[in-house]
Amino acid sequence: MENANLHAVLANVTTRELWVAHAAQGQNASLQPFVHFDLKRLFLRPEDRLAASDAAVTPGPDDAPEPALEGEATAADVPEDAAPEEKTP
């Protein structure tokens, strides 16, 4: 891809959150879905990360994620300990 943005990152330093998108299928990164990362949780020590996930509320059936579109990043594409959630900023 020529003259394109391959990666796009939005950051909220106040809440320590990132949203990341990568170019795909010949389209700029800014046109792709963004994946949310909570840096407060991501940078916890492994033992603290487990305790935080034990305290998390179990999601109900209404909290199920939308099915991924063709070419869209899914949870399987992101490391499990990164705790991504797909959101648009």
17-74 pLDDT tens trace: 999 999 998 899 999 999 999 999 988 988 887 766 666 555 555 555 555 555 555 5
Is the pLDDT at 11 greater than 60, yes or no? yes
Q: Is residue 48 part of a domain?
A: yes
Is the pLDDT at 85 greater than 90, yes or no? no
Q: Is residue 63 part of a domain?
A: no
Please spell the DSSP secondary structure of 3-35, one letter per residue: S---EEEEEETTTTEEEEEE-BTTB-GGGSPPE
Domains of the chain: total:
1
Give the model's pLDDT for residue 21.
96
Return the percent helix, strand and coil in the chain, to nearest 5.
30, 20, 50
Is the pTM higher than 0.85?
A: no
Q: Is residue 2 part of a domain?
A: no
C-alpha 29/C-alpha 58 separation (Å) is 32
Helix, strand, or coil here: 61? helix
Q: Which residues constitute the domain of residue 77?
A: 7-57+68-86
Q: Is residue 17 part of a domain?
A: yes
